[in-house]
A and B are shown apart, each in its own frame.
Chain A
């Protein structure tokens, strides 16, 4: 194997478009999540012990609906990216690694979509 081919392979792995994008998106979602998580916790603290009518009324408020949708998208994307890094660090059997990362992506998509549909159903039935 020539040095040229080897260095090309290394650079291809380390600086591929997807790993840089992964790093950036994880940070961007992190920054976006800081105010959104604080808003969410404050809202939940305010809603503690509230009945379902009050919770639905809160979710139907257009501002809340939009913020919840953004929060759900960010949370599940950030979680998927984070879990992927953990899997890449600890799972060394190639097929188990790929299968786990794919399973996490599928789960994040299913859970995220379910949450979005629930929020939209409440918001649109309001």
Chain B
């Protein structure tokens, strides 16, 4: 019987992480996280409709340091999923599929999600008059 090592599909425990595979799984992770994050959106909208104490509670939670930290993570997940989603849409029409292009677009996705996250927070804090 042939006992040579045959190629197997990636065995995640021993698979060397690469930019492409890491960004791919990150797309899923951020997608699932954002789905869970919709709870915050729903809570905010309902509280705004109810008014009074309900809205004050949301403001208090979101304004706390842990709330701000979570919102920061949520905003990065949103921008990452948005940018990498655009990358996926280009792949869907057959553009940028070769390896150098995939790496280039990968780095563009990382840097633009960081820049967009920081810009939106700078904008938010300047609206509050903090910056």
- Which residues of A does B touch, CB under 8 Å? 27, 30-31, 33-34, 37-38, 41-42, 44-50, 52, 55-56, 59, 75-76, 79, 82-83, 86, 111, 114-115, 117-119, 121-122
Contacts and interface: CB of A to CB of B under 8 A. Distances in A.
B48 A86 contact: no
Interface string B100-131: 00000000000000000000110111011100
Interface in B44-77: 45-46, 48-49, 51, 55, 75
A59 B48 contact: yes
Interface of B: 28, 31-32, 34-35, 38-39, 41-42, 45-46, 48-49, 51, 55, 75, 78-79, 82, 85-86, 88-89, 92, 120-121, 123-125, 127-129
Contacts of B51: 52
Contacts of B127: 45-50
A115 B48 contact: no
A30 B89 contact: yes
Contact of A111 (B38, B89, B121, B125): B38
A76 B38 contact: yes
A104 to B, nearest CB: 8
A114 B42 contact: yes
A89 to B, nearest CB: 9
Taking chain A's interface residues, is the majority helix, strand, or loop, or is none over half, making it mixed?
helix
A56 B48 contact: yes
Contacts of A52: 48, 51, 55
A111 B42 contact: yes
A114 B47 CA distance: 11
B35 A83 contact: yes
A31 B35 contact: no
Contacts of B45: 114-115, 118-119
Contacts of B92: 27
B86 A34 contact: yes
